[in-house]
Copies of this chain bind each other. A is one copy, B any other.
Amino acid sequence: MANIRDVAKLSGHSISTVSRVINQRGYVAGKTAAEVRQAMKTLNYHRNDLARALSLGKTYRVGVVLPYVNHPYFQKLADAIISAAFANNYQATFLQSNYSPEEEIKFLDMLKHHAFDGLIFTSRAIPFDKLVEYKKYGPITCCEDTFDYPLSSAFTDRRASFVNALQTLKDQGYTKIGMTISRSENTSQSAKLTTEAYREVFGEDIRDELLFRESKTMFDGITAVAQFLNYEPDLQVAFCNGDEIAAGAKRQLKEMNRSDVLVTGQENLPISFLMGFSSIDHRLTEMGEEAFELLFKDEIIKKPIPSRFMRRGKLRDDSDQNQDEIDRILN
């Protein structure tokens, strides 16, 4: 495989001159450039991006840390990051953590080892302190509120989103609510925020029988609904931690002839529209784009993004501006 030195030798010019021709930078006479190009063609030369990256100290690659690649929330978010990166001539690589702190440290070490120019954490198991500690090796941004930590972030105020959705439900007379959460309240930030929002709106903790933990797939939605109805036959709402879970719940309710029970999901996936249940739109597309943009800004910027509660079915309110958005999507 020919390198730049071979091209220099064959063309009879110096390495510097060849480099100038390749990168079209600096002064090169037309005749010289032509000779160099001829030599490149003869030798079938092509630049080695690795050597270039080493020399420049820049990879044009970012790592996207996410717990699961096949989870709709992270999929949507990561897709947005990929697209934004691509539009800026960067490549993005998915780094699946399974919420393992050891894996996350490995990814941070990759940043330290110059494998990436920067890292985006869509979620995490390790504390923010650890991220701050690694910031000296390259920029790191988060897709969640970083509070007082010196880390840039693009995020929706999920607590406010949950409060808003629950308040809407309460205002319309729905008070008997079952909830699913992703992990336990101790390990998952969103689980914690969900139960806190309930407490804020209803002034008391949710009954333990109406809280379904470790909810990940549509089958958990099916199971959760059965559990809720077992303890509370007058159930009015299944408040789910994702659209696929909500879809499972919706299906099970139909099967049990309890389509009177409302279902709400999150992520605003096509399925929520198709099956006609409400969904909290966390604006993952906007979040992903912002997270990438912030990566290469010098200041620490915290970019809150307002979420939307997409009200469908019985919750639908034609005076609601969300409907405009739905109509926009439909056309």
With A51-B54, A247-B270, A247-B271 given, is the CB distance from A94 to B115 under 8 Å? no
Number of copies of this kind of chain in the complex:
2
Complex: A150 Cα to B76 Cα, angstroms: 36
| CB proximity of A287 to chain B, nearest CB, Å | 15
Which of A105-113, A161-169, A309-317 forms part of the interface with chain B? A105-113
Q: Type the 1/0 row for A70-94, where 1 means its CB is closer than 8 Å to any CB of B.
A: 1000011001001100100001111
Q: Is the CB of A115 within 8 A of B83?
A: no
Q: Nearest B residue to A103 by beta-carbon distance?
A: B86
- A96 interface residue, CB < 8 Å from B? yes
Contact of A59 with B50 in the complex, beta carbons under 8 Å: yes
- Contacting B at CB under 8 A, from A161-207, are none
The answer for the CA separation of A109 and B91 in the assembled complex, in Å, is: 14
CB distance from A204 to the nearest CB of B (A): 33
CA–CA, A112 and B110, complex, Å? 24
Q: Tell whether, in the assembled complex, residue A82 and residue B110 are in contact, meaning their CB atoms are under 8 Å apart.
A: no
- Bound-state Cα–Cα, A92 to B63, Å: 11
The answer to whether A96 touches B75, judged by C-beta atoms less than 8 angstroms apart, is: no
**Taking A46-B112, A54-B50, A270-B218 as contacts, is the C-beta distance between A94 and B82 under 8 angstroms?**
yes
Q: How far is the CB of A85 from chain B (nearest CB, A)?
A: 10
Question: Residues 247-275 of chain A: 1 if any B CB is under 8 Å from the residue's CB, otherwise 0?
Answer: 11011000000000000000000110111
Interface residues on A, range: 35 or more
Q: If the complex has contacts A217-B270, A218-B270, are A82 and B109 also in contact, measured as CB distance less than 8 A?
A: no
A71 and B64 CA atoms in complex are apart in Å by 19
A10 interfacial by beta-carbon distance below 8 Å: no
A273 to B330, CA, bound (A): 24
Candidates B49, B59, B79; contact of A113 at CB < 8 Å: B49
A58 nearest CB neighbor, chain B only? B50
What residues of chain B lie closer than 8 Å to A94, measured between beta carbons?
A: 82, 92, 94
- Partner pick for A271 among B49, B112, B271, CB 8 A cutoff: B271
Mark A17-58 against chain B: 1 for CB-CB distance below 8 A, else 0: 000000000000000000000000000001111110110000
- Contact residues in B for A70 (Cβ distance below 8 Å): 76, 79
For A92, A93, A217, the residue with the greatest tally of chain B CB atoms inside 10 Å of its CB is: A93
Which of A251, A271, A274 has the largest count of B CB atoms less than 10 A from its CB? Answer: A274
6 shortest A-B CB distances, which residue pairs? Answer: A49-B113, A50-B54, A49-B115, A69-B79, A70-B79, A93-B93
* Chain A residues in the interface with B (C-beta under 8 A): 46-51, 53-54, 59, 61, 69-70, 75-76, 79, 82-83, 86, 91-96, 109-110, 112-115, 217-219, 244, 247-248, 250-251, 270-271, 273-275, 330
Given contacts A92-B93, A218-B274, 8 further A-B contacts (CB under 8 A): A48-B114, A70-B79, A86-B96, A91-B95, A92-B94, A217-B270, A247-B270, A247-B274
24 chain-A/chain-B pairs, Cβ below 8 angstroms = A46-B113, A47-B113, A48-B113, A48-B114, A49-B114, A49-B115, A50-B54, A50-B114, A51-B54, A54-B54, A61-B93, A69-B82, A83-B96, A91-B95, A94-B94, A217-B270, A218-B273, A218-B274, A247-B270, A247-B274, A248-B274, A250-B274, A251-B275, A274-B275
